[in-house]
Structures are given as structure tokens and as C-alpha cells.
Amino acid sequence: MNLLFQSGDHVRGLITRLTLGIVILPHGLQLMFGWFGGYGFTGSMNYFTGTVGLPWVVGFLVILFQFLGALLLIAGVAARPIALATIFLFIGMIVTAHLDYGFFMNWDGSQKGEGFEYHLLVIGLALLLLLEGAGKYSIDYILSKKYQPRK
């Protein structure tokens, strides 16, 4: 239990997880509810299973993770496991959808898809969370204090 929630008395985790959670959450809201110009749950599932060719359970987990995982990061709940899942998720995104378009994002609309520079930033932030934990102002920090081994 301690390994899952372990977090130090620092604000680095707060800054990292808020940045990561706030950046990922709008994408999760696009996937889950169709907000911000997204396709909603059904449209996103159709894209993941039909266009990308992912198994339905993987598509479902991508949607759920980007929505619920971002909320949990913002609250500082299970930041390390979510960070690890984020790393795998974004590596998967690079390999399945972005590698062919190179490094740079498609700022000027001159290519058919987006590069993977954004994904590398997310992976870097997730690595920081994996190493540092959620920080002082998190549910993980409260739980790590509660479940400290007795001396």
C-alpha cells in the first residue's frame, strides 16, 4: 500500500500532476462527452476500433483513462500507477498514430497528421510523477502518512 501512495513533502508533484492532468483532461472530455469539438464516447470508440483497429477493450480503456485518469491526477490519487499507465498509453499513441508524421506537430496544416512532440512532453511529465510521487498537496500524501510503517 505504501509503494502505491508513497509521496514526499514537496510541491514538485503538485505542479507536475496539475500540469499533466489539466492538459490531458480536455482530451478525455472530448473522448467521453464530445466536449471541445470531440466525437463523444460512441464516435471515439468507432474511431479506435474501426479506423485505428484497436480491440474494443483497449479503446474503452483509452477513453476511460484520459477522462478518469486525468481527474485522479488532479486530485493526486494513485499518481504513480497513473503516471506509469500514461507512459504506456502515450508510447502506444506514438507507435500507432503519430510516428509516421515525424517529430513536429502540424501547426501549419501541411501534413496529414500530428507529430509526436506533445507525446514526449507528456511522457516526460509522467516520468517525473513516477519518480517523485504526487507531492504534499495530494490524496496520496495523506494516505502515505496514514499507512507509514510503525516504528
| Tens-digit pLDDT profile for residues 49-81 | 999 899 999 999 999 999 999 999 999 999 999
Calpha distance 133→126 (Å, rounded) = 10
Give the position of cell 504513480.
80
Is residue 151 situated within a structural domain?
no
Give the span between the Cα atoms of 143 and 135, in whole angstroms.
12
How far apart, in Å, are the Cα atoms of 88 and each of 36, 42, 81? 25, 23, 11
Res. 128: pLDDT tops 80: yes
Within a domain: residue 96?
yes
CA distance 97 to 114: 8
pLDDT at 43 over 60: yes
The secondary structure of the chain in percent helix, strand, coil, rounded to multiples of 5, reads 70, 0, 30
In a domain, 85, yes or no: yes
Percent of the chain with pLDDT over 90: 70
Total structural domains within the chain: 1
In a domain, 35, yes or no: yes
134 lies in which domain range?
2-146
| pLDDT greater at residue 38 or residue 97 | 38
Q: pLDDT tens digits for 86-123? A: 999 999 999 988 998 888 888 887 888 888 999 999 99
Domain membership of residue 38 (yes or no) is yes
Asked if the model's pLDDT at residue 151 lies above 90, the reply is no
Is the pLDDT score of 35 beyond 70? yes
